[in-house]
Amino acid sequence: MIAATDRTPLGRSFFDRPVLDVAPDLLGRVLVRNTPDGPIELRLTEVEAYAGPADPGSHAYRGRTDRNAVMFGPPGHVYVYFTYGMWHCMNLVCGPEGTASAVLLRAGQITAGADLARKHRRTSRRDTDLAQGPARLATALDVDRALDGSDACSEDPDGSPFRILTGTPPAPDTIRNGPRTGVGGDGAAHPWRFWTDADPTVSPYRPHTPRKRRS
DNA sequence: GTTAGGATGATCT
DNA sequence: GATCATCCTAACA
């Protein structure tokens, strides 16, 4: 039996907690992306936690820079970065201001505005592919660096590009966790990737395969 | 069905 | 100049 989706917006206090508490709690929540063409809604199914300057996998590892400045700011804001020369990825800042921790949104299921999302994602054929992977997710939602620093907990939700609703959290026994993708070294030891088991939008676990060195 | 490798540029050392 | 929290396509079984 499926509970009705709770459309109450999550307040800033939800994000003002340790990132390892927030990350699994984000599963099943609904991210609303207000685009000029209309809203897109996404139920989160896979996330990764990045725990501040002490985490070798985090962009904050070597301190504050122009790029990651948003991570060092107040919780509930959106940190967007550009990577691999082509892609954007989207995070939600967690913990008290200065903690510099964040949750990477890795995958989700589009629950509204699928046509719009499909327009942003040119090559996607199946609905479950639309936001399967962090760069796909950002592309489907039309997220780029221009949205870096957006407040997802704004008091004026209609004026903000993002909002996060209570949604329908999964049963606790369907939440899985494991090593993070693409994080090597000491950072790989932390099982800080969280996903909802048996969800078609979550790709089967793939151990990190180091990229080939260009010859 | 699976896998190899190319695309592409900001950021940081 | 190396790295990077990736995706897509072509080629193969």
A67 is near strand B: CB distance < 7 Å: yes
CA of A1 to C1' of B10 (A): 47
Q: What band does A207 get if pLDDT is binned at 50, 70 and 90?
A: very low
Is the Cβ atom of A204 within 7 Å of strand C at any atom? no
Per-residue confidence (pLDDT) for residue A199, from 0 to 100: 55
CA of A68 to C1' of B13 (A): 17
Query: What pLDDT band is residue A127 in, cutting at 50, 70 and 90?
Result: confident
Average pLDDT of A5-22? Answer: 95
- pLDDT over 80 (residue A82): yes
Q: Which residues contact A203 (CB under 8 A, 6 or more apart)?
A: A107, A132, A133
The answer to whether the C-beta of A206 is closer than 7 A to strand B is: no
- The pTM score is 0.89
The domain spans of chain A are: 4-171
Q: Is the CB of A126 under 7 A from strand C?
A: no
Fold of A4-171: 3-methyladenine DNA Glycosylase; Chain A (3.10.300)
Averaged confidence pLDDT in chain A: 85
pLDDT at A195: 86
Taking the C1' atom of every nucleotide in all shown strands and the CA of A82, the nearest one is: B10
**Cα distance between residue A157 and residue A212, in whole Å:** 44
Listed residue (A138, A58, A67, A66) closest to A100, CA to CA: A58
pLDDT score for A66? 86
The values of phi and psi at residue A147, to 5°, are: -95, 0
Q: What is the pLDDT of residue A93?
A: 96
Q: Which nt sits closest to A135, CA to C1'? A: C6
pLDDT of residue A84: 86
